[in-house]
Amino acid sequence: MPNKHAAIKDLRKNKRRAARNAQVKTNIKALFKKASAFVREGNKSEAKDAIAKYQQAADKAIKTGVLNKNTAARKKSSLMKKIVA
């Protein structure tokens, strides 16, 4: 446990941030799985909607620093390749 007041406050902030980041990451993973499932089923209209929602969430996560830019680009690209194929 930290001794200084500022260190204690930093610890509180880090816990809150970690919880928020974890929530965003799980949401993004769920959106990716949902979009992949629609693509696998062959449901193109719903797949396009799900992919759009995934892209929006991923871009927001990149902006806030939760997700790496290249990781998001790779996953978006893989989803688009699946829907075209």
5-84, which class in CATH? mainly alpha
Helix axes 5-41, 69-84, angle to 10 degrees: 10
Q: What local confidence, expressed as pLDDT, does residue 3 receive?
A: 85
Question: Is it the case that residue 6 has pLDDT exceeding 80?
Answer: yes
* Other C-beta atoms lying within 10 Å of the C-beta of residue 46: 14
Summarize pLDDT for 33-78 with one digit per residue, the tens.
999 999 999 888 999 999 999 999 999 999 999 999 999 999 999 9
CA nearest neighbour of 35 among 24, 25, 45: 45
